[in-house]
Amino acid sequence: MAETTSAPGTATKLIAEALGTFLLVFGSIGTALFAANFGASENGTSLGVGFLGVSLAFGLTLMAGIYTWGPISGGHFNPAVTFGLAAAGRFAWKDVPGYLIAQIVGGAVGTTLIVLIGLFGPDGWLSAAQDGGFASNGYGAASPGGFGLGAAIIAEILLTGIFLLVILGVTHPQRNAEKFAGLVIGFTLTMIHLVSIPIDNTSVNPARSIATAIYGGGEALAQLWVFIVFPLVGGLLAGFAHRALFERKPLPPVQAEARVS
């Protein structure tokens, strides 16, 4: 007789969501702050990883989280993903608040540990990182490329929507692509960052934006609303659109369980 295992409890799922969001934020924001602009060697070769390295850090940490904790919680690690999955009928709305809290806490722990490391760094490193916005999202003067509020709004809605459509498509249980879902989703997040780091430093994830704005100072906090509201809007629009276009009949209860792994 085959051994059966019980489904993870609510507390276990929330811990998994917090850990996955922590990994995503710590790995990617840590790369942005410690390694993106590390300087040059004696012969002038850049030692920093730049936009490409930071983009890969976001994608690779997400992949790791999906394959590690996705089987437990579904591997959202992002409030916009949770909202999008709920709008698509893949996740229960009653479970959304708990996931949001776990994700925000996990992200905040990630940036807090970066700050603790920075306390023991070179003189002035931490204050310079905070003066530079602590890798926070921003528009106008806070945009890496000088893009305005309208560009940030369009980019966050569009790119978060694309992200959710990919997630919903690749994790559909009837398309037999779930084994590769983590790879597809991770590389999609990498692509999104390659496109939009110059625009607004790329959010598509309110938990990531909150985690950096906590230490980014007044301007980052003043602009934070954009990177909470519009990724959520993009996720909701994509979820409702996917349900209307590709999943008009609700999935059976077991298949509707939101998983990205």
Q: What is the pLDDT of residues 158-193, one digit of tens each?
A: 999 999 999 999 998 777 777 899 999 999 999 999
Q: What is the pLDDT of residues 205-214, one digit of tens each?
A: 999 999 999 9
pTM given for the model? 0.91
Could you read off the pLDDT of 129-163 as tens digits, one per residue? 999 999 999 999 999 999 999 999 999 999 999 99
Q: What is the pLDDT of residue 57?
A: 97
Confidence of residue 254 (pLDDT cuts 50, 70, 90): very low
Given a cut of 90, whether residue 79 has pLDDT beyond it is yes
pLDDT of amino acid 42: 67
pLDDT value of position 4? 47
Per DSSP, the residues of 174-198 read: TTT-GGGHHHHHHHHHHHHHHHHHH
Residue pLDDT, tens place only, 109-133: 999 999 999 999 999 999 999 999 9
Question: Stretch 74-87: mean pLDDT, rounded?
Answer: 97
Note the pLDDT of residue 172: 85
Which of 95, 85, 73 shows the shortest CA–CA distance to 243?
A: 85
Confidence bin at 2 (pLDDT 50/70/90)? very low
pLDDT at 68: 96
Over residues 216-231, the pLDDT tens digits come to 989 999 999 999 999 9
Which three-class secondary structure state does DSSP give residue 33?
helix
CB-CB contact of 162 with 154 (8 Å): no
How does the average pLDDT of the chain come out, rounded? Answer: 91
Report the percent of the chain where pLDDT is more than 90: 81
Structural domains of the chain, with CATH: 10-34+47-246 (1.20.1080.10)
pLDDT, position 174: 76
In which band, very low, low, confident or very high, does the pLDDT at 43 lie, cut at 50, 70 and 90? confident
pLDDT score, position 84: 98
Q: Which of 18, 79, 33, 28 is nearest to 58 (CA)?
A: 28
Please give the Cα distance from 200 to 12 (Å, whole number).
Answer: 34
Residue 36 clears pLDDT 90, i.e. is over it? no
* Per-residue exposure over 207-236, b if at least 16 CB sit within 10 Å of its own CB, e if not: bbbbbbbbbbbeebeebbebbbebbbbbbb
Nearest to 91 by CA among 243, 246, 245, 207: 243
pLDDT grade for 3, boundaries at 50, 70 and 90: very low
If we measure between CA atoms, which residue out of 30, 88, 52, 66 comes closest to residue 198?
52
Give the pLDDT mean for 91-111. Answer: 97
Q: First vs last Cα of the chain: how many Å apart?
A: 27
Query: Residue 121: what pLDDT?
Result: 92
